[in-house]
A and B are shown apart, each in its own frame.
Chain A
Amino acid sequence: MELLVASAIGILTAAGLYLVMRLRTFPVIMGISLLTYAVNVFLFASGRLTVGAPPILTDATSYADPLPQALVLTAIVISFGMTAVVVMIALGAYLGADDDSVNDPVDPADTKAGDAS
């Protein structure tokens, strides 16, 4: 089980990183979301994995660690806000320049300086 979760985190991270290095905003945002999933799962897993013992107080003896769950919940909501914002800004940039690539267009002056040296 641990192996599954750990590998899931790894794969999510890898895919996320790959997408983050794309050239258009949309895939980059997708990548960020994947990374968010990965880190949320990791943060959640920092309370270790417990099956069938939700932290709702009953007369049970052991519960899953509630703190990481609370942290992840906060993290999820925050990252939702962040995603909304970045989508909006990216959209604004696209609508303004009619171009949705993340990288700045190459400034001819710079290449000139490069040749000068």
Chain B
Amino acid sequence: MSLFLIVALPFLGALLPGLMISAGRQACAGITFTVTLAAFIGLLTNLPAVLAGEVVTTGINWMPTLGLNVNLMLDGLGFFFALLILGIGLLIITYARFYLAREDNMGEFFTYLLLFQGAMVGIVLSDNILLLLIFWELTSLSSFLLIGYWKHLPEGRQGARMALTVTGMGGLALIGGMLILGNIVGSFDLSVILQSKDIIQESPLYLPALILILIGCFTKSAQFPFHFWLPHAMAAPTPVSAYLHSATMVKAGIFLMARLWPVLSGTPEWFVIVTTAGLVTMVLGAVIALFKHDLKALLAFSTVSHLGLITMLLGTGTAFGAMAAVFHILNHATFKAALFMSAGIIDHETHTRDIRRLGGLRHLMPITFVIASVAALSMAGIPLLNGFLSKEMMLEEANHTVLFNTPWLVPGLAVLGSLFSAAYCFRLIGHTFMGPKRDDYPAKPHDPPAGLWLPPALLVVLVVVIGCAPFVAEPFVKLVTASVLGDAAEVPKAYFKIWHGLVPALYMSIVAVVGGLIALALFNPLLRMWDAAPRPEAKTIFEALIAAAVALARSLIHTLHNGAFSRYAAIAAVTITAVSYHAWTTGTVGPATRVMQPAGPVEIAGWAMLVAATCGLAFMHRNRLLSLILIGIVGLMVSVGFVFFSAPDLAMTQITVEVVTIILLLLALNFLPNTTPIESTVLHRTRDVVVAIAGGAATFAMSYHFLLRDAVTSPISEFHLANSYKGGGGTNVVNVILVDFRGFDTFGEIIVLGIAALLIYALTETLLGGPVRARLLNRVPDQPRSGASHPMMMVVMTRVIMPVVLLVGFYIFLRGHNEPGGGFIAGLVVSIAFVMQYMASGFSWTSARLRYPYHGVIGAGVLIAGLTGIGSWFVGKPFLTSDFTYVRIPPFQEFELATAALFDLGVFLAVVGAVMLSLESFSRLARRAHVKDSEHPMDIDPSRDPLDDMTPTKEGV
């Protein structure tokens, strides 16, 4: 079967359990089993090729430019692991079907399990290390989901997060390592990498790559100092512990070390780091395991210890070590999975995993007893069981390993490790099954249904078979070893046999076993010592670390983002000034090319007025009405300046905008408090002053710099001046630029105005629809209202002025193209005229007489402008292409018709609509705030009969 299919099957199959669960648990487990079986058979179809020593490869390009391709390969090592994963997977699925309780969501469980299975198979079959990374992280994610499977258990959630954090960290380190490795070699394909030992080991990047990769492997395989997550992963359902956390996933790190063994091993760095880590983990795990009372915790630490053993063997860097490692991987997978399942059975039957509450089970659960004991004895290294063989090889190898120039170190520790390992195995058997029968089991124990004990039984059979007839496993182990070694070394000749003669290794294991028995005999005093001894609890440390990190992060982030706009603004101002200053100082200032123009007394007077108003505003800003007046003066002076510097259009726009803005701000001030309280401290204010002056100085310097220098070449506006009349048909170049050369800007700009109006309207609606309305309704004006807020004089005046202003607006609009003026200004002038009506006669009177909805006006304006632009499409010209002609209707003089004028009409309408809609919205707020508004044009009207004037004094806008 194609390798793709083998990897893909579990992933595709992961969809099925979720669907099949509705058809019952049997169907759900059945489909999962079938999927795995299919993959398993598919794997076996490749057996002949593998046995023939071939490497089955296949691949498709995914991201060739990055070197990330879906290349798969199957050699001895990959086959070995795939076999373990799928084979044990089959047993686990059978087991889990009977293990899971009714209330557990089996579909979810098997979905995660298949996802994990696929990822794991992917790891061992990847030929591309980046692809391997992807599967690697996927196993972390799926184990996260499986550990947290019982979501209501806090230890499940914590264990899941811890596992994800630690393995995730390893994964990130691995990303770094793999990228470096790939860049050293120039390819991310293992087949290439495995050929380039020398390039890698001579590269200066070898050490960083090695360290990063090893961090990845150690975290995954729970090597010291990253071993602590594995025991907490035991919060997962037992099938998961047996599958992920003893048989397969934790072996991924080992697999990767074995995979890269030919190119990474053999250097002193590799030897020291890997061997040391392995040794420490082996001893530490074994010691802790002895004193754990929870069966699964004991097994977890024993797993840690055995992984350390394998790591140590790989670390030695000899061919024999590698072979021993491979052999022990096989053996450990068999007896440890069996042990976990037995522990699960005990938990399932007695409802406890606490060894102190167990004992004497051999009578009650004979089958489980046999299975567990055989597996345990094998783990202890008792002859005729497979554990013995690989442990012998380990001790043998340890004898020839010299670390830190102290010959006794490795053998000594190896014996110590095996001693404790034997001890906890004996304790497992002794304290769980032996001893007198008790009467205080939480539940009445008895052997489980065959579905639960058959899977471990099968494994135990293997244990015994390999133990008694090692030659059965020998060719296969050597085949795998060969593919581990690659062409880095020769497969050792040594034969697997039970009796090697009286070699040191034999004495060492005798010492270990006997010592183990003694340790068990002395268990209680030892336990007291252990409990008395202070030791760091990894979990609490980890939790404390995370908590500290979160607290640190919070204090950093929340103090930084404290929601104080004034500080954000200050930071922005400082940043901008500083960066600009840096850019300034690192550049060179060219000579001035323009002469300063003389300033007369009038100009200076104007300047003085502007400055006075500005400073006054800065100093007296607390009085808000005053500051409005001052800002009005500033605006006025600016527009005067525009006039003076020959920009009439600007001046007109500025002044009209000024008027409207002030009206608007007045309306707002109608609600806001009239004064600003003093809140900021002197320190703050000094800070602000400094920042402000720095910013001001910067802009001053910049403006002064530019004002005295010419552009690098003639500005593009020369073209505008030259072609304004020819091409735009207007003599007012500014207006022609606005409606023609850069009409698109103007188009965007009226849209901005339109949106502004819509926004204001929408917000008013929301406010008036919400709680604000009530507040507005019973709001008392903070200032006494004039009796005649719609005085007759003003009414009469505005009525008279109205047509005049409209006429003026119309005139300004028409002349715009050739003289100062245009759509904007006209629009603003006209809206001011309307506003005057509002001011004079109040809101309802005016709006009652105003027939056009402002939405419509805005929409129409934008549409007219837009359609004018589109119009030019029909003559095959781009958007907004203008055309104009001169017509002459006697007796008038010849005048111009330009499409630009139509566009300007759109502008005009949009401006009127926008301004009016905004002001209207504002005054609608105001209106809600007051009593019913007058229907009369003026409050005191001599022409009105006082009798029918029952309405009290009104208040308008």
Q: Name the segment of B152-160, B190-198, B579-587, B771-779 touching the other chain.
A: B771-779
Known A-B contacts A30-B621, A91-B672, A94-B672; A21 and B566 likewise in contact (beta carbons under 8 Å): yes
> Which of the residues B693, B720, B775 comes within 8 Å of A66, measured between beta carbons?
B720
Q: Which A residues lie within 8 Å of B38 (CB)?
A: none
In the complex, residue of chain A having the shortest beta-carbon distance to the beta carbon of B756: A81
Q: Name the segment of B135-143, B609-617, B885-893 touching the other chain.
A: B609-617
* B 620-645 to A, binary, CB cutoff 8 A, 1 in contact else 0: 01101001000100110010011011
* A 47-89 to B, binary, CB cutoff 8 A, 1 in contact else 0: 1111111111110000111111111111011101111110111
Q: Name the segment of B527-535, B724-732, B864-872 touching the other chain.
A: B724-732
Q: Which B residues lie within 8 Å of A65 (CB)?
A: 715, 717
> Which of the residues B615, B635, B776 comes within 8 Å of A15, measured between beta carbons?
B615
Q: Is B103 an interface residue (CB 8 A)?
A: no
**B residues 709-761 in Cβ contact with A at 8 Å:** 710, 715-717, 720-721, 724-725, 731-734, 737-738, 741-742, 745-746, 749, 752-753, 755-757, 759-760
> Which of the residues A12, A57, A91 comes within 8 Å of B725, measured between beta carbons?
A57
Q: Are B565 and A3 in contact (CB under 8 A)?
A: no
Q: Which B residues lie within 8 Å of A92 (CB)?
A: 763, 766-767, 772
> Which of the residues B699, B755, B767, B925 comes within 8 Å of A38, measured between beta carbons?
B699
Q: Which A residues lie within 8 Å of B720 (CB)?
A: 66-67
Q: Are B554 and A116 in contact (CB under 8 A)?
A: yes
In the complex, residue of chain A having the shortest beta-carbon distance to the beta carbon of B710: A48
Q: Are B733 and A63 in contact (CB under 8 A)?
A: yes
> Which of the residues B617, B688, B707 comes within 8 Å of A5, measured between beta carbons?
B707
Q: How far is the CA of A72 from the CA of B149 in the complex (A)?
A: 64
Q: Are A27 and B627 in contact (CB under 8 A)?
A: yes
Q: How far is the CA of A81 from the CA of B564 in the complex (A)?
A: 25
Nearest CB on B from A24, distance (A): 5
> Which of the residues B645, B704, B717, B925 comes within 8 Å of A3, measured between beta carbons?
B704
Q: Which B residues lie within 8 Å of A64 (CB)?
A: 645-647
Q: Are B554 and A113 in contact (CB under 8 A)?
A: yes
Nearest CB on A from B354, distance (A): 36
Q: Is B820 an interface residue (CB 8 A)?
A: yes
In the complex, residue of chain B having the shortest beta-carbon distance to the beta carbon of A114: B555
Q: How far is the CA of A29 from the CA of B628 in the complex (A)?
A: 11
Q: Are A54 and B742 in contact (CB under 8 A)?
A: no
Known A-B contacts A15-B614, A73-B650; A45 and B706 likewise in contact (beta carbons under 8 Å): yes
Q: How far is the CA of A30 from the CA of B634 in the complex (A)?
A: 11
Q: Are A95 and B721 in contact (CB under 8 A)?
A: no
Q: Which B residues lie within 8 Å of A22 (CB)?
A: 566, 621, 676, 680
Q: How far is the CA of A76 from the CA of B825 in the complex (A)?
A: 12
Q: Are A76 and B654 in contact (CB under 8 A)?
A: yes
Q: Which A residues lie within 8 Å of B668 (CB)?
A: 87-88, 90-91
Chain A interface mostly helix, strand, loop or mixed?
helix
Q: Is B373 an interface residue (CB 8 A)?
A: no
Chain B interface mostly helix, strand, loop or mixed?
helix
Q: Are B649 and A80 in contact (CB under 8 A)?
A: no
Q: Are A88 and B657 in contact (CB under 8 A)?
A: no
Of the four ranges (under 10, 10 to 19, 20 to 34, 35 or more), the interface on chain B belongs to 35 or more
Q: How many residues of A contact B (CB 8 A)?
A: 96
Known A-B contacts A23-B679, A88-B763; A56 and B624 likewise in contact (beta carbons under 8 Å): no
* B 642-675 to A, binary, CB cutoff 8 A, 1 in contact else 0: 1011111110011001001100110011011100
Q: Is B569 an interface residue (CB 8 A)?
A: yes
Q: How far is the CA of A113 from the CA of B557 in the complex (A)?
A: 10
Q: How far is the CA of A96 from the CA of B554 in the complex (A)?
A: 29
In the complex, residue of chain A having the shortest beta-carbon distance to the beta carbon of B671: A91
Q: How far is the CA of A85 from the CA of B762 in the complex (A)?
A: 11
Q: Report the tally of A-B residue pairs with Cβ distances under 8 A.
A: 338
Q: Are B631 and A73 in contact (CB under 8 A)?
A: no
Nearest CB on A from B814, distance (A): 15
Q: Which A residues lie within 8 Å of B756 (CB)?
A: 81-82, 84-85
Q: How far is the CA of A114 from the CA of B653 in the complex (A)?
A: 51
Nearest CB on B from A48, distance (A): 7
In the complex, residue of chain A having the shortest beta-carbon distance to the beta carbon of B657: A80
Q: Is B49 an interface residue (CB 8 A)?
A: no
Nearest CB on A from B75, distance (A): 52
Q: Are A17 and B696 in contact (CB under 8 A)?
A: yes
Q: Is B875 an interface residue (CB 8 A)?
A: no
Q: Is B430 an interface residue (CB 8 A)?
A: no
**B residues 674-716 in Cβ contact with A at 8 Å:** 676-677, 679-680, 688-689, 691-693, 695-704, 706-708, 710, 715-716
Known A-B contacts A22-B680, A45-B703; A14 and B672 likewise in contact (beta carbons under 8 Å): no
> Which of the residues A27, A30, A50, A76 comes within 8 Å of B646, measured between beta carbons?
A50
* B 560-571 to A, binary, CB cutoff 8 A, 1 in contact else 0: 001111110110
Known A-B contacts A45-B703, A57-B733; A51 and B763 likewise in contact (beta carbons under 8 Å): no
Nearest CB on B from A85, distance (A): 5
Q: Are A80 and B703 in contact (CB under 8 A)?
A: no
Q: Are A13 and B737 in contact (CB under 8 A)?
A: no
Q: Are B737 and A67 in contact (CB under 8 A)?
A: yes
Q: Which B residues lie within 8 Å of A110 (CB)?
A: 554, 558-559, 562
Q: Are A13 and B696 in contact (CB under 8 A)?
A: yes
Nearest CB on A from B563, distance (A): 3
Nearest CB on B from A73, distance (A): 5
Q: Which B residues lie within 8 Å of A53 (CB)?
A: 646
Q: Which B residues lie within 8 Å of A80 (CB)?
A: 657, 660-661, 753
Q: Is B144 an interface residue (CB 8 A)?
A: no
Q: How far is the CA of A26 from the CA of B565 in the complex (A)?
A: 14
In the complex, residue of chain B having the shortest beta-carbon distance to the beta carbon of A15: B618
Q: Which A residues lie within 8 Å of B734 (CB)?
A: 55, 66, 69-70, 73
Q: Are A1 and B699 in contact (CB under 8 A)?
A: no
Q: How far is the CA of A88 from the CA of B755 in the complex (A)?
A: 13
Known A-B contacts A73-B650, A87-B664, A91-B672; A18 and B688 likewise in contact (beta carbons under 8 Å): yes
Q: Which A residues lie within 8 Å of B693 (CB)?
A: 14
Q: Which A residues lie within 8 Å of B565 (CB)?
A: 28, 102-103
Q: Name the segment of B301-309, B356-364, B442-450, B597-605 touching the other chain.
A: B597-605
Q: Name the segment of B54-62, B214-222, B914-922 touching the other chain.
A: B914-922
Q: Is B607 an interface residue (CB 8 A)?
A: yes
Q: Is B594 an interface residue (CB 8 A)?
A: yes
Q: Is B552 an interface residue (CB 8 A)?
A: yes
Q: How far is the CA of A80 from the CA of B754 in the complex (A)?
A: 12
Q: Which B residues lie within 8 Å of A114 (CB)?
A: 554-555, 558-559
Q: Which A residues lie within 8 Å of B716 (CB)?
A: 67
Q: Are A84 and B688 in contact (CB under 8 A)?
A: no
Q: Which A residues lie within 8 Å of B911 (CB)?
A: 77
Q: Which B residues lie within 8 Å of A16 (CB)?
A: 692
Q: How far is the CA of A91 from the CA of B624 in the complex (A)?
A: 15
Q: Which A residues lie within 8 Å of B594 (CB)?
A: 2, 48
Q: Are A41 and B638 in contact (CB under 8 A)?
A: yes
In the complex, residue of chain A having the shortest beta-carbon distance to the beta carbon of B630: A30
Q: Is B255 an interface residue (CB 8 A)?
A: no
Q: How far is the CA of A104 from the CA of B599 in the complex (A)?
A: 47
**B residues 515-555 in Cβ contact with A at 8 Å:** 548, 551-552, 554-555
Q: Are A21 and B691 in contact (CB under 8 A)?
A: yes
Interface centre among A30, A72, A77, A101 (most CB of B within 10 A): A77
15 additional A-B residue pairs with CB within 8 Å, beyond A11-B610, A56-B820: A4-B603, A8-B641, A10-B697, A10-B701, A11-B700, A13-B699, A14-B695, A16-B692, A26-B672, A40-B654, A56-B733, A57-B724, A71-B745, A94-B672, A96-B770
Enumerate 6 A-B pairs (CB-CB under 8 Å) in ascending A order.
A11-B615, A21-B566, A30-B621, A42-B699, A57-B731, A92-B767
Task: Give residues in B with beta carbon < 8 Å to A.
Answer: 548, 551-552, 554-555, 558-559, 562-567, 569-570, 573, 594, 596-599, 603-604, 607, 610-611, 614-615, 617-618, 621-622, 624, 627, 631, 634-635, 638, 641-642, 644-650, 653-654, 657, 660-661, 664-665, 668-669, 671-673, 676-677, 679-680, 688-689, 691-693, 695-704, 706-708, 710, 715-717, 720-721, 724-725, 731-734, 737-738, 741-742, 745-746, 749, 752-753, 755-757, 759-760, 763-764, 766-767, 770-772, 775-776, 818-820, 824, 911, 914, 918, 921-922, 925
